[in-house]
Amino acid sequence: MAKLWNFLTGDVNYLDYGGKWYRKIDQNRYHVIDLINWKEMCGSNAPPETYNVDLSEIDISGPMLSDALRSLDQPSDGLDEYGDPLSNFDLIKVVCLHAYGAKAPLGSWDGNNFHKLMAEAKKLSNELVKNHDLYERHMNRPVNKIGTSARDYARGEILNLDEMKYILDR
């Protein structure tokens, strides 16, 4: 599979306005790096750091695909209005799922040096691909305050059922 990162979407001036990069991990999985400029995003409410870089995993065979495609007015069959196949339909799926929030958060870094932040994200991506135990720990760790795992978050299953059972049984 691809080892290089490719530009996915964003502004040509991504340091000011943000951008996304991807790499294909296997047939259905992609890692996506999302760069935002805090000052552009939040204005005077921005944190002291200039940038945020997030690493996430997208599974294009996930259960939220049809909703994600529909949310950005993309065809679910991969065909354009003339019935011709869309080129790079898998990348369209990646963009739609990422924008829809159907992604497994793997890491997030804030700082002022874009190159260091990108290097951290790429390093973690490489480690997760090479080390299955580390990958499983990242996918099973809670990524929100209610304890949803990264894996469940990507599927849209944001409620921690064990926590909900505890609350209901009280």
**Residue ranges of the domains in the chain?**
6-169
Residue 147 binned pLDDT confidence (cut-offs 50, 70, 90): confident
Does 35 have pLDDT greater than 70?
yes
Indicate the pLDDT class of residue 161, thresholds 50, 70 and 90.
Answer: low
C-alpha closest to that of 65 among 21, 19, 100: 100
**CA gap 160, 158 in Å, rounded:** 6
Q: What is the mean pLDDT of residues 11-29?
A: 94
Residues 6+ apart with CB under 8 A from 170: none
According to DSSP, residue 149 is labeled: B
pLDDT of 79 higher than 70? yes
Report the candidate in 157, 35, 27 with the shortest Cα–Cα distance to residue 93.
27
Name the average pLDDT for the chain: 91
